[in-house]
Amino acid sequence: MTTVDPHAPVISIRERYRDMVSDRWPVTVAPQPEELLSSWLHRLAYANGVAPRAFARVLGLNPGMWSAALDLRLPADVANLLSANTGIAHNQLAAMTLSHDLPRELLLPLRNNGRQWSSTWLQFCSRCLAEGAQPYFRRRWRLATRLSCIEHGCRLRDRCPSCLGCIAVFDQAELVPQHYCVACGYDLRRAPVPYLSPTARTLDRCIDNFCSLEATAHAPFGPLLVRRLLSMPSAAGGYYSTMMLTSLSTSARTYCAEHLSRPSEWPVDDENDRKARRLWRLVPPTSDHCAWIELLANALGRKAGLPGASEVKKPGKKIPYLLGAYARMSPGPGCRLPPELIGT
């Protein structure tokens, strides 16, 4: 017999690899603050070496705008699959959807007819994408009322500046990060920042601050304000006056906001203007959401020639004077207004 050397190395068969590793997918990515679910799904697919279009099949979904549709409604079976394979809790997944705290009526629709004045489903801030270690898309960029970036104050874009195509990461067949245009490969982080006037930026911030679902859901005039926001193109007049806010591109909605916020676009009414300038100090504090919602609804209605939200007769305010009072109480970076707009 052969004597076995006790100091010789021992070779043995180990467990199979699939029995040693976790059942989860190889790479998990953490959701970022205010990240949109579709954005997280695209980053998750890329991290695991799967192109977004192919990742739809991994989740048992049909191609098309599959990830954008999940932003609106996340089926239980897909949520269970994602949670089991990533370790991300169900409540974290739900927090990335649009089903809870954003008004559905004001969301950009899931469509793109190719017309330059027409809306696309998603906007972006090139500075946010450029500054983040992990570029991602925010939930509030889906709102038609959102024109500017809260962080940088610059106007949002809804198209690639190179080919004018919409954001279509869900249709990406190659393994490419989501901040590159699917159609032409342009790096969206390099997109120039379009101009947005200080007055339009103030209107944008005012609407965003006082039109959250929490405020509108409990305010008596919340539904009325949502309807009047959708009719902003009519109040602004011009080429887009017969269209709904959600059907317009970011540049077209910016046109409406610019016209509504300019003093020169409002008819001269000396007596009412003097009253508005004297009464700007009497507007509600910024914490009084319900009263601000009524003021915004009345101001939009006045421009469109509609009756006030309340049966109580109150001095009507023009949007420029309303924004001047808002800016005095809640100034923001890059939103200084000229004295003639604020009034004395």
Per-domain residue ranges of the chain: 37-190, 198-333
pLDDT of residue 291: 81
Residue 14 has pLDDT above 60, yes or no: no
Report, in this order, helix, strand and coil percent for the chain, each rounded to 5: 45, 5, 50
CB 262 within 8 A of CB 199: yes
Query: Mean of the pLDDT values across residues 250-266?
Result: 85
pTM over 0.85: no
Q: Which two tokens stand for residue 26?
A: 């190889």
- Looking at per-residue confidence, does 98 or 238 come out higher? 98
Residue 147 has pLDDT above 80, yes or no: yes
Count the residues in the chain: 344
pLDDT of residue 15: 47
Distance CA 167, CA 83 (A): 26
Q: Which residues pair with 118 in a beta bridge?
A: 248
Distance CA 275, CA 175 (A): 61
| Contacts of 37-40 spanning 24+ positions with Cβ under 8 A | 37/67, 37/70, 37/71, 37/74, 37/93, 37/96, 37/97, 38/67, 38/68, 38/70, 38/71, 38/137, 38/169, 38/170, 39/136, 39/137, 39/138, 39/178, 40/96, 40/136
Residue 336 has pLDDT above 50, yes or no: no
Q: Helix (H, G, I), strand (E, B), or coil: what is residue 138? A: strand
Query: Mean of the pLDDT values across residues 267-274?
Result: 57
Place of tokens 């040693």: 20
pLDDT of residue 247: 94
Most confident of 204-218, 272-286, 317-331: 204-218
Query: Mean of the pLDDT values across residues 204-221?
Result: 80
pLDDT of residue 272: 57
pLDDT of residue 2: 47
Residue 67's nearest CA partner among 49, 85, 87, 82 is 82
Q: Which residues contact 27 (CB under 8 A, 6 or more apart)?
A: 44, 47, 48
Residue 323 has pLDDT above 60, yes or no: yes
